[in-house]
């Protein structure tokens, strides 16, 4: 039966600078815009923008919004979510990095999917598939998604047209499927790299929260590594505000860890949790970090675990309201008097924790402090004075990359950032990590 386009639900935000080349192009599908397009009933985006579509064999599915996420009810086997981004002059052999989080209900058992991309006129599997074409499954959770993150190398060039990726339903009983994520970065994303062939590959795990998924800095780290000649095969599990204790209790987070085979693992605890260490409101911060390390090493014996040393709030007391932080704020107000006061405690305690647990350290907060003092014109924060701006995430990526590969940068890779600012941020990362 002829396929029916049910609706098109989003416009892509194109984040690129005119001075940069095609290889630094990235598309992020914003779910804020997704909700708007569903509510207004708009159809195909204008030329120059990407789109998210749901394509079905019969007009029986209902497309709508779950929270701010695009969702469909009543999908049938063979129906699929389709991401399309316009491209030009893509050479054969070009590598494309694809990030796609999704949920499926009911969640009492995993649902089967085919994760595919169009290469020439042929749909190919992003991951190795079985005889039925199945290569991924949803989580057994009604809240937390499966994070698909993989790279593919195109065998065919694209002179002018669309790069397309789809997630195809392979089960008959999916009541609802949802493309997960928010406009802050944790949303479907595609980045086009180039046709080079890195000399080595490392498997890297990221466990964290909103500081990790803001602008999806791990994807920037992977892209920096690519242009320095290294391939990173990455897995990720992220949830806003999560501590290591919460990650240990979350079965989807545990599943991600238990996949095993990792060479490195970046661990980012709740951003103010290190302030608790050694206080009367400690909550066993070091103990739970140690348990996470033990669980990772159990399933990846060769893995080097790395703690993320994060940054203080812009003015010390930003974004510290809430019941979860009340005991810390009320018990130790001196930590919140200024950025400097907060950063000193975060740096001291996180460094000591890494030494005590014999773990690596990604000293982003130390680099952050230098940039604040030397270049106040570079805005590292978003408006909330807590989460990273794009420049802040780029700095985190540069520090993280050098933590894995402690050699000076060779490539001039701005990645959708002013080239002069990018060079400066990389130089700060080098000063902190290498010297």
Q: What is the pLDDT of residues 87-143, one digit of tens each?
A: 888 999 999 999 999 999 999 999 999 999 999 999 999 999 999 999 999 999 988
Q: What is the mean pLDDT of the chain?
A: 86
The answer on pLDDT for 45 being more than 50 is no
Confidence band of 37 (pLDDT split at 50, 70, 90): very low
For the chain, percent of residues with pLDDT exceeding 90: 67
Give the least confident one: 16-30, 103-117, 378-392. Answer: 16-30
Sign of CA dihedral 170, 171, 175, 177: negative
The distance of Cα 371 from the centroid of its chain, to the nearest Å, equals 24
The answer on pLDDT for 42 being more than 60 is no
If you average pLDDT over each of 40-49, 53-62, 354-363, which comes out highest?
354-363
The answer on pLDDT for 33 being more than 60 is no
Pairwise pLDDT comparison (408 vs 183), residue with the higher score: 408
Strand-pair category, 62-66 with 26-29: unpaired
pLDDT given at position 88: 84
For the chain, percent of residues with pLDDT exceeding 70: 83
Pairwise pLDDT comparison (399 vs 191), residue with the higher score: 399
- Select from 57, 69, 59 the least CA-distant residue to 31: 69
Range 346-354 average pLDDT = 98
Cα–Cα distances (Å) from 304 to 135, 290, 296, 347, 373, in that order, read: 28, 13, 9, 20, 32
| Tens digits of residue pLDDT in 81-102 | 888 888 888 999 999 999 999 9
pLDDT given at position 377: 97
pLDDT given at position 319: 55
Residues with Cβ within 8 Å of 19's Cβ and at least 6 positions away in sequence, in order, are 419
The answer on pLDDT for 36 being more than 80 is no
Single pTM value for the model: 0.90
Sort 367 into a burial class: Cβ within 10 Å, 0-12 / 13-18 / 19+: buried
| Tens digits of residue pLDDT in 259-297 | 999 999 999 999 999 999 999 999 999 999 999 999 999
pLDDT given at position 125: 98
pLDDT given at position 61: 60
| Tens digits of residue pLDDT in 198-243 | 999 999 999 999 999 888 999 999 999 999 999 999 999 999 899 9
Pairwise pLDDT comparison (156 vs 58), residue with the higher score: 156
Question: What is the token pair recorded at 23?
Answer: 């290889």
Residues with Cβ within 8 Å of 178's Cβ and at least 6 positions away in sequence, in order, are 66, 69, 70, 71, 72, 102, 103, 104, 145
Confidence band of 16 (pLDDT split at 50, 70, 90): very low
41: left (phi over 0), alpha (psi -120 to 50) or beta: left
Confidence band of 353 (pLDDT split at 50, 70, 90): very high
209: left (phi over 0), alpha (psi -120 to 50) or beta: beta
Range 169-182 average pLDDT = 83
Confidence band of 320 (pLDDT split at 50, 70, 90): low
Is the CB of residue 1 less than 8 Å from the CB of residue 37? no
pLDDT given at position 415: 81
Enumerate helices (H) and strands (E) in the chain, giving the number of each. 11, 19
Could you tell me where the beta strands, DSSP code E, fall in 41-193?
51-56, 62-66, 69-73, 80-90, 95-105, 112-119, 122-125, 136-137, 146-153, 158-169, 176-179, 189-192
Is the CB of residue 270 less than 8 Å from the CB of residue 241? yes
The answer on pLDDT for 340 being more than 90 is yes
DSSP state of 349: H
Is the CB of residue 370 less than 8 Å from the CB of residue 432? yes
Is the CB of residue 113 less than 8 Å from the CB of residue 168? yes
Strand-pair category, 122-125 with 176-179: unpaired
């Amino acid at each position: 039966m002829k396929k029916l386009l049910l609706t098109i639900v989003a416009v892509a935000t194109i984040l690129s600078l005119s001075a940069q080349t095609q290889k630094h192009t990235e598309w992020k599908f914003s779910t804020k815009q997704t909700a708007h397009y569903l509510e207004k009933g708009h159809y195909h985006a204008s030329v120059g923008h990407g789109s998210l579509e749901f394509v079905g064999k019969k007009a029986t599915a209902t497309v709508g919004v779950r929270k701010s996420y695009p969702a469909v009810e009543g999908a049938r086997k063979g129906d699929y979510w389709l991401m399309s981004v316009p491209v030009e002059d893509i050479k054969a052999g070009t590598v494309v990095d694809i990030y796609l989080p999704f949920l499926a209900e009911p969640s009492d058992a995993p649902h089967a999917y085919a994760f595919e991309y169009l290469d020439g006129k042929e749909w190919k599997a992003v991951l190795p598939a079985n005889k039925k074409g199945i290569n991924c499954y949803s989580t057994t959770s009604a809240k937390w998604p499966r994070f698909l993150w993989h790279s593919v190398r195109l065998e065919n060039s694209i002179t002018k047209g669309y790069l397309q990726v789809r997630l195809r339903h392979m089960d008959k009983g999916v009541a609802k499927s949802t493309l997960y994520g928010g406009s802050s970065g944790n949303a479907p994303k595609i980045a086009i790299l180039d046709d080079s062939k890195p000399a080595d590959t490392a498997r890297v795990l990221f466990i964290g929260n909103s500081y990790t998924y803001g602008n999806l800095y791990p994807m920037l780290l992977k892209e920096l590594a690519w242009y320095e000649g290294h391939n990173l095969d990455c897995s990720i599990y992220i949830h806003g505000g999560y501590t290591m204790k919460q990650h240990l209790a979350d079965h989807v987070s545990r599943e991600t860890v238990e996949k095993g085979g990792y060479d490195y693992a970046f661990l980012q605890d709740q951003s103010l949790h290190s302030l608790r260490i050694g206080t009367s409101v400690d909550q066993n911060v070091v103990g739970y970090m140690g348990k996470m390390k033990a669980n990772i090493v159990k399933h990846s014996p060769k893995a080097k675990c790395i703690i993320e040393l994060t940054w203080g709030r812009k003015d010390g007391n930003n974004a510290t309201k809430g019941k979860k932080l009340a005991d810390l704020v009320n018990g130790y107000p001196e930590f919140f008097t200024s950025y400097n006061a907060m950063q000193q405690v975060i740096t001291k305690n996180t460094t000591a924790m890494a030494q005590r647990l014999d773990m690596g350290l990604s000293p982003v907060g130390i680099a952050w402090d230098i940039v604040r003092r030397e270049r106040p014109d570079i805005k590292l924060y978003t408006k909330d004075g807590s989460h990273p701006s794009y420049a802040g995430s780029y700095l985190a990526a540069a520090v993280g990359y050098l933590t894995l590969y402690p050699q000076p940068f060779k490539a001039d890779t701005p990645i959708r950032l002013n080239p002069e600012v990018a060079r400066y941020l990389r130089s700060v990362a080098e000063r902190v990590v290498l010297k």
